[in-house]
Amino acid sequence: MSRALAIFFTLLILNCASGASLQAHPQAMNDEPLRISDGNGNLYEIGPTLLFYKPVTAKQSSSGLYSGGEPAALALTGEMHSALRGTIHKALAHKSDHISNREKGSYQIAISKERIILRHGSPSAEALRTTLERIRKSAIPVPLLYNVERGENPWSGMTDTAEQEERNRTIYARSSDVLKGYEPIDAPYLKTKGRPLLFRSMQKKEVVVSEADFSMLTRPDVTRITSGDEVVIGRALKGELLAPSFLLPFLLKGQILISYWHTDAEIRLTGESASNGRICYEFKGEHHYYTNEKNTDPLSFAVCVEVKSGQISVVGR
């Protein structure tokens, strides 16, 4: 086993031994994702919480006909990580399944510049194929593309003055008794297990969260954040709220992150990195605004989660 793959494998064990929730994974993986290329050339990038599937297109395939389907990001559970861990461990141990050079139909396991190639049709390659197929069929998808529009803004009708807009930058955490005076916002990305998490009052011109779910939250403006700057959003008080399948749509589609000036933004999830108990989800995109003509400016930022404390931040890239 190569040194880089051995390091990854050790970290994978530490990261996944405790179960499915994000807060059950206190150890950080290294910044390099594990990459698996299947027999058709489709790429799987595996991080601490997500699997990015990057398929071959018909144009890229040798036949000009084969397509691996649509790109996807999939939320990995502890059970899925365990299945991958076991399959990769066996593949690393079965030296007779290894070959020196890539050939048609072979599988490749790689991290950094280190790699192991599994012979086409070998038991290790078939076991890896089966494990990856099961994960793709059962994992919860995490959106790759986020179209954020003014018409879906929870603060719509609450921006009469500059002072009011500034107040809207803070989301207060309220008790269950106080929340009775607020209306739950009925959008699927603002709920978990059917339970609403964001509430509004047009009379008070205020959007709030439950103090049982979140601390007070700050709404950072990612259109103005500069590279290296970090803004703390707040803390999630329950592990389930840190799951990327919930947290990322909640922050982006729920417009906790301010991502446009005038009309809309198009934002894409591009990757995941981790270091020292912190997981960051990387985003790039653009937002549109109008002067005498339509203008487009780029967006580049990461949503970062401190696994132990539940703190959520945004970092400029």
Residue 72 has pLDDT above 90, yes or no: yes
Residue 14 has pLDDT above 70, yes or no: no
Residue 25 has pLDDT above 50, yes or no: no
Higher pLDDT, residue 299 or 158? 299
Residue 228 has pLDDT above 50, yes or no: yes
225 shares its domain with 297: yes
Give per-residue pLDDT as tens, 281-295.
Answer: 999 999 999 898 999
pLDDT number for residue 2: 56
Q: Identity (one letter) of the amino acid at 4? A: A
168 shares its domain with 284: yes
Gap between the Cα atoms of 155 and 197, Å rounded: 15
Counting the structural domains of the chain, the total is: 2
50 shares its domain with 184: no
pLDDT number for residue 29: 42
pLDDT number for residue 161: 86
209 shares its domain with 280: yes
- Tell me the C-alpha to C-alpha distance, in Å, between residue 188 and each of 24, 63, 112, 270, 297: 26, 41, 38, 23, 28
Alpha carbons within 13 A on the beta-carbon side of 46? 28
Q: In this structure, are residues 36 and 62 in contact, taking their beta carbons and an 8 Å threshold? A: no
Work out the average pLDDT over 193-213. Answer: 95
Identify the domain boundary among 117, 142, 167.
142
Distance of CA 10 to the CA centre of its chain: 23
pLDDT number for residue 208: 98
pLDDT band of residue 114 (cuts 50, 70, 90) is: confident
Give per-residue pLDDT as tens, 254-272.
Answer: 999 999 999 999 999 999 9
Dihedral through CA 26, CA 28, CA 33, CA 38, nearest 10?
-40
138 shares its domain with 149: no
| Structural domain containing residue 29 | 3-142
Give per-residue pLDDT as tens, 121-130.
Answer: 999 999 999 9
Identify the domain boundary among 142, 162, 192.
142
116 shares its domain with 177: no
67 shares its domain with 8: yes
Taking the model in full, what pTM does it have? 0.86
